[in-house]
Chains A and B, each alone.
Chain A
Amino acid sequence: MWGIIFAASLIILSFVYPSEFLINLFTQILIMGLFATSLNLLVGYTGMVSFGHAGFFGVGAYTAAVILQKYSTSVGFAFGTTIVFSAIAALIIGSFCIRLGSIYFAMLTLAFNQIIYIIVIRWTDMTGGDQGLIGGIPLPGFLSTQRAYFIFTVIVVAASLVICKLVVDSPFGAILKVIRENADRAYSLGIRVKSYQLIVFVMAGIFGGISGALMSLSISGAYPDFCYWAKSAEPIFMVVVGGMNSFLGPLLGAAIFKILIAYSTMYTNLWGLIIGGVLVLIILLVRKGLADYVMEFVAARSVDGPKNLLSPKKTG
């Protein structure tokens, strides 16, 4: 419900205050917000820290871009294919990665991320190699203006977030948290941990892919650095700064990240320093994501008796 209101107000705002700069900025924020939220299904909800999430962003970006540019099909078909390809990639990569725990899982996701990057660089005929897929991506008339594409992004991102939210609030989502907290115990309760990990990995891959597709269509091209391993650090920053224990934390993190970059690059080319500085400050001073901090502050102040017992605040 709040999602629809938020989405509608964003759309209305784009008419009331039609700034190209802001519309573009918010499009980027929403796309990266979905990307970070999809990663947080793994990091925050299941406790699987993936360093290779940009791989799926790249798979999605190139799939949609290639399909639209070379085969000029409909946008719907391009997104459908993106979902299928991201899911297949995640299924293959996931079934290897989930065999390993913690740091080895992280390293393996990183390795697969690099494999995807190499494929993109080498498969020049299809991807344009290290130059990127240039020459523009044809979009149908109804998406040709920046505002139209913004509205499209709002709808796709909102729908994706609603699906993610439903899943994390479902019994499946409840079990994911149990796995995050104590996978060893989960087994003794008859829970086949690996199945849950694989399913959520594929889900994260699909939504990572969708965000990649939104990005390549928004800037009318796909580039290898979409799936360079360093790109995987961006959603991790967003998740950490925004808050991994709040559903909208990663979206907030994406907003902070993109706004910081947008404004700091106006004054300096040392924006990396600013991003790094913010990360250090938040980790040292707040010690949790900003959204988590706010949620806990509010929860600590609300006293509505036993009802609170069943919808408890999360800690740490």
Chain B
Amino acid sequence: MKILEVQHLNKSFGGLQAINDLSLGFEEGEMSSIIGPNGAGKTTFFNLLTGYLRLDSGKILFKNQDISKLPNYKIGRMGINRSFQISHVCPSLTVFENLRASILSKRKKTFKFFTNVGGMKDIEDEVMSSLDDINLKDLAGTPATQLPHGALKSLDIGMALAMDPQIALLDEPTAGMPSGDRMRIMDLIQRLWKQKGLTIVFVEHDMDVVFAFSQKIRVLNYGSLIADGTPEEVSQNPVVIEAYLGDED
């Protein structure tokens, strides 16, 4: 079953057609990737799916319900959660406090005004176990600004995954990392994907990562879908090779 599907999606910025009549869907339980040259519309696509941008025309269906007009926080509550290309965390809060935001929101505990949040043992336990999932337990008390780049990316991804998303959209989870760290963070995402039975879509530039971790690959170029298939199919697709892969190697 397709958990998230878009039909004839269009979005332009001024004269630039960032997304051009795009139709595709994501299967439940799948770990897939979106690739494409810079400016292909990958991040715009994520922003449209999560309500951070409004589409010009088309439909976004989440479990067959049109969500294209919903505000971003409602989409977040429905279980479409994202991480960001440039890490989007709370810089002066600690790792623990950052992740706690996800847990409090997920558990709908945010409108409690007179309970001491430090005394909520169940929340604390859940935060610590989520931190354990992303190997950040030892850094719980560190302010996010003091984290090394890799840990910061893990935290950003962890905040999205701690929401127990129905579908997680990870925008360049390995951006700016040395290649050893890339594989490590992707291993971690893959482990959580299997363990929790998540549906994950990630945008990525590193082709080694893309081919190692995707069940399906979608290739965007100029806001349109130019290929959609398994890694083998995509790597042999002449259109893709010309538009994209050819320049890389």
Contacts of A181 in B (CB 8 A): 89-93
Partner of B113, one of A167, A180, A310: A167
Known: A171-B109, A188-B72, A191-B73. A311 touches B92 (CB 8 A): no
Nearest residue (CB) in B for A175 is B110
Tell whether A310 pairs with B101 under 8 Å between CB atoms, given A177-B90, A190-B77: no
Q: How many residues from B make CB contacts under 8 Å with A? A: 49
Known: A177-B97, A182-B89, A309-B96. A189 touches B118 (CB 8 A): no
Docked pose: A174 CA to B142 CA in angstroms: 16
Chain B, residues 104-147, CB within 8 Å of chain A (1/0): the string is 11100111111111101001100000000000000011110100
Q: Which residues from 166 to 225 on chain A have a C-beta closer than 8 Å to any C-beta of chain B?
A: 166-167, 169-175, 177-178, 180-182, 184-193, 196
CB distance from B210 to the nearest CB of A (A): 24
- Contact digits for A5-32, partner B, Cβ 8 Å, 1 yes 0 no: 0000000000000000000000000000
B116 surroundings in chain A (CB, below 8 A): 166, 169-170
In whole Å, how far is A152's beta carbon from the nearest beta carbon of chain B?
Answer: 24
| Residue A312 CB within 8 A of the other chain | yes
On whether the beta carbons of B77 and A185 are closer than 8 Å, the reply is no
Contact partners of B91 in chain A: CB under 8 A: 181-182
* Distance (whole angstroms) from the CB of B13 to the closest CB of chain A: 19
Minimum CB–CB distance for A165 against chain B, Å = 10
Whether A185 lies near B163 (C-beta < 8 A) is no
B101 x A175 contact (CB < 8 A): yes
Interface positions, chain B 53-73, Cβ under 8 Å from A, are 71-73
Contacting residues, chain B, for A310 (C-beta < 8 A): 96, 118, 124, 140-141
Interface contacts (Cβ under 8 Å), in number, total 126
CA distance A316 to B94 in the complex (A): 12
CB-CB nearest in chain A for B72? A187
Complex Cα–Cα for A63 and B232 (A) = 75
B76–A191 touching, CB < 8 Å? yes
Interface residues of B in 144-158 (CB under 8 A from A): 145
The minimal Cβ–Cβ distance linking A309 to chain B, given in whole angstroms, is 3
A70 at the interface (CB under 8 A from B): no
Ordered by A's residue number, 7 sampled pairs between the chains whose C-beta atoms are within 8 Å are A170-B114, A171-B110, A174-B97, A174-B101, A181-B92, A186-B101, A189-B102
Q: B residues engaging A (CB < 8 A)?
A: 50-52, 71-74, 76-77, 81-82, 84, 88-94, 96-98, 100-102, 104-106, 109-118, 120, 123-124, 140-143, 145, 159-160, 163
Given contacts A167-B113, A177-B90, A315-B145, 19 further A-B contacts (CB under 8 A): A170-B113, A171-B112, A171-B123, A173-B117, A174-B110, A175-B105, A185-B88, A185-B90, A187-B52, A188-B160, A190-B74, A190-B77, A191-B101, A196-B110, A310-B141, A311-B118, A312-B143, A314-B92, A316-B92
